[in-house]
Structure 1
């Protein structure tokens, strides 16, 4: 897939324009969005991703469109897992609801910039060393095992990293969020940062940590840097509104980690098989590819990912419903 420089530039300009409009809306009227507003924005970004995929289909063909849709779905589902930690961060720092949109947007912008660097580095590694797929595959399988062993999401999933601890220690921080600004001036004329800065750093850096598994995962779907980047963009763009739309539903997705673990393990195995098929390591089959290793087609990957996430969601909601019934029965006794 050949993507010209002007297409890259047009994509980046469109991304900046959408983010600027978002930031302008939030900056002019900080508020907690209603379910209708959040749902409308989520539907808008999903429709935008679907239209973008249709455009890829029209220009580059069904193969690349399938890779985009599968990659976007994978990144979107992994991004939903981020929301659990975002809820914990908002609670840990007691962020007022009306300022949470701004924190999420700035954090997501920071994450997009850092993920862009990750994607560029990953693409360069893959172009130079095909054996890196062995490492990516093993890492994804390891992450899947860790997710299953870790069980449900809880506060242990968020730990303040070095950057957050340094910022809290080195920067003058006020005790108030003021009007949602990053800096305030006290009556004595002293300039202080507000906790908004710390929370924004927490959101951005935490999302970067999540990228350690999501970036290898999408490279298991497509090797095209443009599709990897745009799939990440569309997955993150609607994350802010999804945070408010799902709300309490997040707590009911008790089997989401199991579903995501299955998806990551599947992609990890897919990467390992692909690495075997295109092997260049001299100590494996004298540096020749193992042609018996099957290549998993993109349509099968899409079906497996959709099916796994669907089963995990239905099973989660069914378990939550059963638990609520048990609680009601217990309360009546």
Structure 2
């Protein structure tokens, strides 16, 4: 199914939209679960594909996404409903309902809807209250955590979730500053980060110096990785045989989890390589549709620089007993290396 999109149009165009539609191949009347509705760009395109008789379930923890859903879904021909909450919790609830999906997809990370609202505190380019909650009703904001963690814990979080090389220096500077007064705004946090970095690091030109710290705080505040680890198996269970799961990620922590999860499901024989035939009988439960992650085209990168780090991976759920568990071990090792 060839999908042509004008990525130079001024309206909001979701990242890797054409690639996502093509690889998920939604049919008329299908059931689609959008785990990260955001501005609804992907959902609107899927709704057009599934048409009358189709069902689109939109999930998002942000109440602003519900308002966007109300703006859009009245023009759709398919049935649609919005469920607010953490996608792992909602997927579990959908399973309890007995729902079966043909397509489940994720567009991970922070949405443009959140970044473009300075008062939400996600952006390091505009001064605003230090919040970063995807669900504004959640009990703890980035300000709360940043001013409560001890120096060691703060450095661990920046290192683990931001892969920040200078985590210890940044944590030390933050703790020194908050002794004088709490850090309340994104601008105050950016100033602390810039002061902590060596001059050479600030001149390297690898993006904004606060990028990794803001990523780490956002992930920690919203428990993003823990939620993803819970959601991926639930999405697979929710998907009917022959259905597809796709995920767009924007940093290595997300992409690594998606890749490993999909690769494990697609893995067949696990016998030692010197066995002449398979004796384990293990069969793959899914087929990888992306041996390598798909990335934005040059045209999309030119039109939307925010898409630069996007990676798309997808699989197809195999019917029971449809796997190739008895293929030679060397074959499955080649597939794993390709992934």
TM-score normalised by length of structure 2: 0.27
Bigger relative contact order, structure 1 or 2, given CA contacts below 8 A and separation 6+?
1
TM-score normalised by length of structure 1: 0.27
Whose strand proportion is higher, 1 or 2?
A: 2
